[in-house]
């Protein structure tokens, strides 16, 4: 049947099971928005205050639901405002479709009003991108984009559509979604079998998992592998909800701000089993000394990551869910009591804690996050901005459920979390969603409080207010002679008045004995369907510990910082 291009776009989205789009209208996408008006009973559109937040919302929606996020923006500045969000999704392997409008085909390349080469701009940060120049190819391109976004290592795909394409009459016939290929079982079988033999013959196994386990929905398979191996477990930042953080054998995050127990396990294991993680520099710290006494098995879907940052003894290139399931079939139940008890001793001896600061009644972030964890039973969806608070969330919230953590790991995008929290809440309306922020990040996206109010999204925005850019300041303290250049922000904003101005609830916590009641009040507001801003006032000298200096051995973290000198 014949439909105009905009109707074809929406019909193709419906084919893919899309029920929500995040975006912001403009001239080049008016035809698409007209179609969305007609299809409003089938697809929900969530408008944000800024296109970047819309892209982060689509990202958070995807991470928390396992479905492909969709964001829509107009040409020129609307499209370029998506770039940081697209790059964030690319670095963290999040399946996302970005649809941008452009000027009509006859105006392309003429520096027309609000024209930009968004395909050229986003080429390094997308798995693939398209500019549609033939109306007849529009359905095929949209279907292929969804397949590419979800095939192999997942990621964002951009489709740039000139305005006259959205008005053209196109032949449309409904099709079933194209299937994505995740692995080739025939080529990985021998690799898996060899990995099983290495695991059977090791004495000190250590399992380290990343975001790939969550992306592959392999959490249950990993849990069974851990049981069979009787191994201690550590996670990357991106893998925080891949394993129950309250489990006895979970020894914390690994890397620059990971636990010393995890670092000692890396240094003393004889076999390190790495599941769906890419060995970022924040994990390796010093690749020349990392796991130097161990054989490393790397199970990873992206062949480009094998041996890229560190040499490994053996690898399995393929879908981690399939690989772990096959390993579980090949492995017997094993016990390593001497090794296991030694690692559990390290976990007790090097428990992560915060240095006290000045006053006994002063609020410490670990107390706030630990109480939030207790009140939500570790089952809330937590998003974060980027900075000290991000590390505190990973260190002190005990994630119990998969797809419960949304944070910018690879790109480190300040301003990511509030948009992501909106997407998480839209995709999971029955779950508690909390965005944990620092005031530095908060000032990058506080305009999105208006989006919470508009859409009545009962997200809890929890801000640690210390009037500094805490993580950068921490580095200045340690490595720049305490020359705190431009990290004391001190904007003088009254957060409670700001909440009132945006039409949302406000809660302020300034003393230790206010933590429980303040968080309970925030959770009650959210349960009643009301968004809330929680202002937690903390000391500017609270630091993230442990901390491995750049280039140092991961097993030698800084455990305390002298605040007097």
Which residues are known to be catalytic? 51, 113-114, 163, 471
List 534's β-bridge partners, or say none: 462, 507
CA distance 431 to 283: 31
Q: Residue 510 is encoded by which pair of tokens?
A: 């300034």
Backbone angles phi, psi at 157, to 5 degrees: -130, 135
Residue among 277, 236, 242 nearest 259 (CA) = 236
Give the CA dihedral 500, 501, 502, 507, nearest 10 degrees: -20
Structural contact between residues 199 and 331, judged by C-beta atoms closer than 8 angstroms: yes
Q: Residue 278 is encoded by which pair of tokens?
A: 């890419």
Structural contact between residues 218 and 320, judged by C-beta atoms closer than 8 angstroms: yes
CA distance 376 to 298: 34
Residue among 226, 250, 425 nearest 327 (CA) = 226
In terms of phi and psi (left: phi > 0; alpha: psi -120 to 50; beta: otherwise), the region of 352 is beta
CA distance 330 to 327: 5
Structural contact between residues 39 and 80, judged by C-beta atoms closer than 8 angstroms: no
3-state SS string for 105-167: HHHCCCCCCCCCCHHHHHHHHCCEEEECCCHHHHHHHHHHHHHHHHCCCCCEEEEEEEHHHHH
Instruction: Identify whether 76 is preceded by a cis peptide bond (ω within 30 of 0).
Output: no
Q: Is 463 helix (H, G, I), strand (E, B) or coil?
A: strand
**How far is the CA of 442 from the CAs of 332, 411, 434, 448, in angstroms?**
50, 17, 14, 10
Residue with tokens 């480190």: 412
Q: How many residues does the chain have?
A: 565
The residues near 450 (Cβ < 8 Å, ≥ 6 apart) are: 49, 502, 503
Q: Which is it for strands 69-73 and 96-102: parallel, antiparallel or unpaired? A: parallel
Contacts from 243-247 at CB under 8 Å and sequence distance 24+? 243/209, 243/213, 243/219, 244/398, 244/399, 244/400, 245/378, 245/397, 245/398, 245/399, 245/400, 246/378, 246/398, 246/400
Structural contact between residues 138 and 167, judged by C-beta atoms closer than 8 angstroms: no
Beta-carbon neighbour count of residue 44 at 10 Å?
Answer: 14
């Amino acid at each position: 049947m014949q439909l105009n291009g905009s109707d074809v776009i929406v019909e193709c989205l419906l084919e893919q099971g899309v029920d929500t789009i995040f975006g912001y209208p403009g001239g080049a996408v008016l035809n698409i928005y007209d179609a969305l008006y007609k299809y409003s009973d089938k697809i929900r559109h969530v408008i944000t205050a800024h296109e970047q937040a819309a892209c982060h919302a689509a990202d958070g929606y995807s991470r928390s639901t396992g479905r492909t996020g969709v964001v829509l923006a107009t040409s020129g500045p609307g499209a370029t405002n998506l770039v940081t969000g697209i790059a964030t999704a690319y670095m963290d392997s999040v399946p996302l479709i970005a649809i941008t409008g452009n000027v009509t085909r006859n105006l392309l390349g003429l520096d027309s009003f609000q024209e930009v080469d968004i395909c050229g701009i986003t080429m390094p940060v997308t798995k693939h991108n398209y500019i549609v120049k033939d109306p007849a190819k529009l359905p095929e391109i949209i279907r292929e984009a969804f397949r590419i976004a979800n095939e192999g290592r997942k990621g964002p795909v951009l489709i740039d559509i000139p305005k006259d394409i959205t008005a053209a009459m196109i032949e449309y016939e409904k099709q079933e979604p194209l299937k994505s290929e995740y692995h080739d079982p025939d080529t990985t079988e021998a690799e898996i079998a060899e990995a099983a033999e290495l695991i059977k013959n090791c004495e000190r196994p250590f399992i380290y998992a990343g975001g790939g386990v969550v992306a592959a929905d392999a959490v249950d398979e990993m849990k069974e592998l851990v049981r069979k191996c009787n191994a201690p477990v550590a996670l990357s930042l991106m893998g925080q909800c891949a394993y129950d953080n309250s489990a006895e054998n979970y020894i914390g995050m690994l890397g620059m701000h990971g636990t010393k127990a995890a670092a000692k396990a890396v240094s003393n294991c004889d076999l390190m089993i790495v599941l769906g993680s890419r060995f970022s520099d924040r994990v390796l710290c010093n690749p020349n000394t990392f796991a130097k006494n161990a054989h490393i098995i790397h199970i990873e879907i992206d062949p480009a990551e094998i041996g890229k940052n560190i040499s490994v003894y053996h690898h399995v290139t393929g879908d981690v869910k399939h690989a772990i399931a096959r390993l579980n079939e090949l492995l017997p139940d094993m016990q390593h009591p001497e090794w296991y008890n030694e690692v559990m001793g390290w976990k007790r001896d090097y428990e992560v804690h915060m240095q006290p600061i000045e006053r006994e009644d002063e609020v410490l972030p670990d107390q706030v996050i630990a109480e939030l964890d207790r009140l939500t039973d570790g089952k809330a969806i937590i998003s974060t901005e980027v900075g000290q608070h991000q590390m505190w969330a990973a260190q002190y919230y005990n994630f119990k459920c998969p797809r419960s953590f949304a944070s910018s790991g690879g790109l480190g995008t300040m301003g990511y979390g509030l948009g992501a929290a909106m997407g998480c809440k839209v995709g999971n309306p029955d779950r508690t969603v909390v965005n944990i922020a620092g005031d530095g990040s908060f000032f990058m996206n506080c305009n999105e409080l208006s989006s919470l109010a508009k859409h009545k999204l009962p997200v809890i925005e929890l801000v640690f207010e210390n009037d500094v850019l805490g993580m950068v300041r921490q580095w200045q303290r340690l490595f720049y002679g305490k020359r705190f250049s431009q990290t004391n922000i001190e904007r003088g904003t009254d957060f409670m008045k700001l909440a009132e101005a945006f039409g949302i609830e406000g809660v302020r916590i300034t003393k230790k004995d206010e933590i429980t009641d303040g968080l309970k009040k925030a959770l009650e507001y959210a349960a009643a369907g009301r968004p809330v801003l929680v202002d937690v006032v903390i000391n500017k000298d609270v630091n993230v510990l442990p901390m491995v200096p750049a280039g140092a051995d991961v097993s030698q973290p800084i455990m305390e910082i002298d605040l007097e000198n």
